Amino acid sequence: MHAVLISLLLLTQATSEPRPPAPAPQCLDARAVTQMRQLSPNTLIVASGERRFRIDVSVACPQMASGSALLARHGWVCGEPREFVQTQAQLCPVARLEEITSRDYSQLVRAADQTRDGQMLPTVESRSHRGATRGFRGSFDYCFRPSQMRAWAADDDGILVQTSKIRSGGHGAYRLELGGSCPQIAFLPVLKLSSGVGLDLICGNPGDAALLSDDRSFSPTADGLERGRTESRFAKVSERPCPIVAVYPVYE
């Protein structure tokens, strides 16, 4: 086992030789991994660059997401033999690799954060009291701050929001999926986002909603998107809020 580990480590280390391209389109780049989250003793989800993956291992492998590494030839994990998740205690052979959508990844991360042994964890929290250290508990994988919204546009899939990458975990845009019909997004130009927990956070929690108004003082941005702004005192607001049921980053 030690010989296998040493061999794999040598294969994943950078060398003077050019790195060969991925053997297949579905391969995961282990050198670009930014996050790993464990869903069960046999399942791991991985963020690699702008792609998202699910990895199943063939044996129970606790603590895969804590100080673990992916070991594979030239750093390409493709679901082939001799690929491993290395924990501090063992090597866990990769049995299956599947690419998943950003939406599915975000929902899995959110469920993992909210559930521990079937119990709900405390809600995401943002603290911004004067003189206090600002904090963010939760994940930019499924939450964003409406105060960082720069522009928005409506389409058949809901609302696309442009955000500040610097203040949104590197994500420049989010998709907001709406529950039920919300025809007013097609003709009311100003968007206000309301948090169900009363914070500067939209995560698809119960009570998170989009409120539309007809304040005509909005200004289009250079790329044609309508800039989301807080409703004015005299704006007529849509009587029925549009529930937000899912939030996840999109990559353009």
CB-based contact 192:236 (threshold 8 Å):
no
Most confident listed range (122-131, 213-222, 241-250): 241-250
Identify the pLDDT of residue 17.
67
pLDDT for res 125? 34
Cα Dmax for the chain: 72
Q: Is residue 34 part of a domain?
A: yes
Q: From 52, 81, 100, give the residue that closes a domain.
A: 100
Are both 220 and 148 inside the same structural domain? yes
pLDDT of residue 64: 84
Instruction: Tell me whether residue 7 is in a domain.
Output: yes
Query: Are the C-beta atoms of 153 and 226 separated by less than 8 Å?
Result: yes
Provide DSSP, 104-139. Answer: HHHHHHHHHHHEETTEEPPPPEEE--TTSPPEEES-
Is the distance from CB of 175 to CB of 244 less than 8 angstroms?
no
Q: Is residue 65 part of a domain?
A: yes
Question: Range of 90's domain?
Answer: 2-100
Residue-wise pLDDT tens digits, 122-153? 333 333 333 323 444 558 999 999 999 999 99
Judged by average pLDDT, the poorest of 21-30, 126-135, 224-233 is 126-135
Of the ranges 12-21, 155-164, 207-216, 233-242, which one carries the lowest mean pLDDT score? 233-242
The kind and range of the H/E element at 7 are helix 2-12
Domain end point (choices 71, 100, 129): 100
* Residue 126: Cβ-neighbour burial (10 angstroms; 0-12, 13-18, 19+): middle
Give residue-wise pLDDT tens across range 78-94. Answer: 999 999 999 988 899 99
Rounded CA-CA distance 54/73 in Å is 19
Q: 157 and 89, same structural domain?
A: no
Give 98's contacts (C-beta < 8 A, 6+ positions apart).
53, 54, 55, 56
Of the residues 68, 100, 132, which one is the last residue of a structural domain?
100
Between these two residues, 14 and 183, which has the higher pLDDT value? Answer: 183
Q: Letter for the amino acid at 77?
A: V
Contact by Cβ (8 Å): 72, 78: yes
Q: Which of 76, 220, 93, 247 is nearest to 157 (CA)?
A: 247
pLDDT in the model for residue 58:
94
Above 50 in pLDDT, residue 4? no
Residue 49 falls within a domain, yes or no?
yes
Closest residue by Cα to residue 193 from 166, 165, 221, 229:
229
Q: Residue 76: what pLDDT?
A: 96
Say if 45 falls within a structural domain: yes
Residue 210: both structure tokens together: 């989009």
| pLDDT, average across residues 180-196 | 87
95/146 same-domain check: no
- What pLDDT score was predicted for residue 220? 39
Query: Contact, 40 vs 95, CB < 8 A?
Result: no
Type of residue found at 203:
C
Any domain includes 111: no
Degrees to nearest 5, angle at CA 13 with 10 and 17 = 100
Q: How many CB atoms lie within 10 A of CB 128?
A: 11
Q: Picking from 75-84, 100-109, 116-125, which range would have the lowest pLDDT averaged per residue?
A: 116-125
Cross-strand partners of 163: 149
Does a structural domain hold residue 131?
no
What total of structural domains would you count in the chain?
A: 2
pTM of the model: 0.73
What pLDDT score was predicted for residue 208?
Answer: 94
Distance from C-alpha of 133 to C-alpha of 17, rounded to nearest angstrom: 46
CA dihedral (134, 140, 144, 147) positive or negative: positive
**Shared-domain flag, residues 159 and 229:** yes
Query: Cα-atom radius of gyration of the chain, to the nearest Å?
Result: 22
pLDDT at 60: 93
11 pLDDT band (50/70/90 cuts)? very low
